[in-house]
Amino acid sequence: MTAFPAPATRARGPEAAQALAAELSKLVSLPATWLTLGGTLVVNLILAMAFTIAGLHGSTGTKSATDIGLASISYAQAGFVILGVLAACSEYTGGQIRTTLIAMPRRALQLTAKHLTLAIVVLPAAAITAASGVALAAGVLGDTATPVTSGHVAAALSGVTAYLALTTLISASVGALVRQTLAAVVIVLGYFFIAGPLLRDHTPAAKYLPDSAGFAMWFPVADNASAVTPAQGALLLMAWTTGLIVVVMLLYRRRDT
Amino acid sequence: MRALAAEAWKLASLPTVWIATAVGVLVPSVIAGITASATLGAITRGAGTVPGVDTGYQELAFGVVGAIILGVVGISSEYFTESEESGGGRQITTSLTVVPSRLRFLLTKISAIAIAAALLAIIAAATTMGVVRVVLGAHALTLGADDVPRLVGVVCYWVYTALLAFGITVLTRHGVIPLAVLIANTSVVTVTYLLTKITPLANYLPDMAGVRMFIRKLADNTVEISPLTGGLVMTAWVAVLLVIAAIAFTRRDA
């Protein structure tokens, strides 16, 4: 009669750290991560240049280097959406998800680690992307730009960075839900670029939806009492993101892979 | 002919194509419904506005996203690599075994996508105009002889956009980049529209020229392009892109 050794259990703390390290290693070793981030940076600079030239012609309606430099972000966010979807869906092309879940059987921990890793990578990337656009606009506009306080610039930049990071997380959870890159990209981009803007124009309640609430974090909105303030926008977008991740996590724990 | 039937069958069996159909029909008709009821509200309040000349057509310009998805997945699905457990194969190898002539394969594919996009456009246009009519009731502008060329323009625009998306995806062989670029450019304020603020030449980009086929009043735009010129400009873009795609497709490894 052989005595079975008690199954080794791992302590929670080191397990979480290892999961984070594993997810980070997966994310930074995907060529698509760097291609997407690099491509987004380049596209954003080109668009920022275009907006700045339009600003020099005076057709943007504003002369603030911050506003002009950040205008391109509403298009460049597509790159961050792609990054989030790819990070989630790359597990499902081929059978990597099974290896992942054998190594990290606690699914909630694994999914949390994945989203946390994504935030760690995206935050600096988003900050660089946003800051480069503003720097470009400020450099080209020079003295013709409306002077702004550094506090205003810092607030706008941090708002944009947080917005892009949360958008990436939303995209990643949609990716984890849909599991197919193309379908997830269609859903998220269709929402952010078509359904969202159109709803915003037609229904007042749309200002509480993730895209409009997120926009309020950094985009200058008209002054009226019912408008969402940047802080409220940030809270709303965080609530949407957390809610979505929780829903995805509940489903993720129960579904087959 | 059998190759065309096979391509049509392949398209019809792709789930994403049905998503594209739903998007292409629902997006313009739902938005048209919302806009039309807003207009009706303004009319009954006595604000005295009549529905704009572009009611319905404006919305169909957004619905083209359905045609974009159709064009992209029509070819990107051929390059989708199966998981390793199912052999890691790609459909393109099977397709080219069955239809060895690259050019013939591409032409059949183009025909299938053009037919599908035209059908989608007809259904979407009929639904959207129907919704506008039902919501506005007696206030709706009557569809007359003027609308026939415009509706033909809508169908042309959708088919051309699907073919543009198709041509780009033949070159990239993966759907994400063309989808992202083209969907981002279908938003309310498109990148190409912003470019027209910098240079009037941007009015001759495919989408800006193509919408002239059925949109009569572009906001803040003074450059006049006749519907026929717009259509011809877009035809030229599509033709050039498809020739480049055909050359690349016949010369590259599959």
Q: Taking the domains of chain B in order of start, what are their residue ranges? A: 2-251
The domain spans of chain A are 29-254
Residue of A nearest to B19 (CA): A183
Contact A108, B217 (CB under 8 A): no
**Residue B121 pLDDT:** 96
How many angstroms separate the CA atoms of A198 and B83, rounded?
38
Average pLDDT rounded to a whole number, residues A13-37: 92
Rounded distance between C-alpha atoms, residue A150 and residue A189, angstroms: 33
Of B85, B184, B197, the CB nearest to A75: B184
| pLDDT over threshold 60, residue B58 | yes
User: B40: which chain A residues are within 8 Å (Cβ-Cβ)?
Assistant: none
| Least confident interval from A39-43, B137-141, B207-211 | B137-141
Q: Which residue is closest to B175 within chain A, CA to CA? A: A182
Q: Does B83 touch chain A (CB under 8 A)?
A: yes
Instruction: Name the residue facing A189 among B34, B180, B188 (closest C-beta).
Output: B180
B62 contacts in chain A (CB < 8 Å)? 194, 198
pLDDT at A199: 81
Q: Is pLDDT at A1 greater than 60 in this prediction?
A: no
- B241 has a pLDDT exceeding 60: yes
* CA–CA separation, A178 and A185 (whole Å): 10
Looking at this predicted complex, what is its ipTM?
A: 0.85
Give the pLDDT score at A171: 96
Residue B208 DSSP label: H
Q: Which residue has the tokens 């159109």?
A: A198
Average pLDDT, chain A: 87
Q: Is there a contact between B206 and B238 (Cβ–Cβ < 8 Å)?
A: yes
- For residues B123 and A95, the model is more confident at B123
| Burial tier of A144 (Cβ tally within 10 Å: 0-12, 13-18, 19+) | exposed
List of chain B residues whose C-beta atoms are within 8 Å of the C-beta of residue A181: 175-176
pLDDT recorded at residue A241 = 95
| CB–CB contact B19 A203 (8 Å) | no
How close does chain A come to B57, measured CA to CA in Å?
15
CB contact under 8 A, A181 and B176: yes
Q: Measured between CB atoms, does A75 come within 8 Å of chain B?
A: yes
A203/B contact by beta carbon, under 8 A:
yes
Chain B residues whose beta carbon lies within 8 Å of the beta carbon of residue A195 = 27
Contact with chain A for residue B198, Cβ under 8 A? yes
Which candidate from A47, A59, A182 shows the least CB-CB separation from B73? A182
pLDDT of residue A55: 81
CA-wise closest residue to A190 among B182, B189, B17, B155: B182
For residue A36, the chain B residue with the least C-alpha distance is B177
Terminal Cα distance for chain B, rounded: 23
The distance of A58 to chain B (nearest Cα, Å) reads 10
Is B176's Cβ below 8 Å from some Cβ in A? yes
Residue to substitute from B189, B198, B221, B222, interface A, most A β-carbons within 10 A: B198
Report how far residue B187's alpha carbon sits from residue B112's, in angstroms, rounded to the nearest whole number: 27
> Sorting pLDDT into bands at 50, 70 and 90, what band is A246?
very high
Residue A220: per-residue pLDDT? 65
Q: CA geometry: angle at A35 spanning A30 and A38, to 5°?
A: 130
The beta-carbon neighbor of B194 closest among A50, A93, A189 is A50
Q: What is the full DSSP assignment across chain A? A: -PPPPPPP---HHHHHHHHHHHHHHHHHT-HHHHHHHHHHHHHHHHHHHHHHHHHHTT-SS--BHHHHHHHTHHHHHHHHHHHHHHHHHGGGSSSHHHHHHHH---HHHHHHHHHHHHHHHHHHHHHHHHHHHHHHHHHHHGGGSBP--HHHHHHHHHHHHHHHHHHHHHHHHHHHHH--HHHHHHHHHIIIIIIHHHHHHH-GGGGGSHHHHHHHTTS-----TTSPPHHHHHHHHHHHHHHHHHHHHHHHHHS--
pLDDT given for residue A8 in this prediction: 63
Q: What is the largest CA-CA distance in chain A?
A: 88
Is the pLDDT assigned to residue A103 strictly greater than 60?
yes
Of A228 and B49, the one with more pLDDT: A228
Which residues in chain A touch residue B176, judged by CB atoms under 8 angstroms apart? Answer: 82, 85-86, 181-182, 185
Q: Which residues in chain B have their CB less than 8 angstroms from residue A38's CB?
A: none
Q: What's the pLDDT score for residue B96?
A: 92
- Residue B180 distance to chain A (closest CA, Å): 6
Please give the Cα distance from B167 to B228 (Å, whole number).
Answer: 23
Residues in chain B with CB shorter than 8 Å from the CB of A54 are 194, 197-198
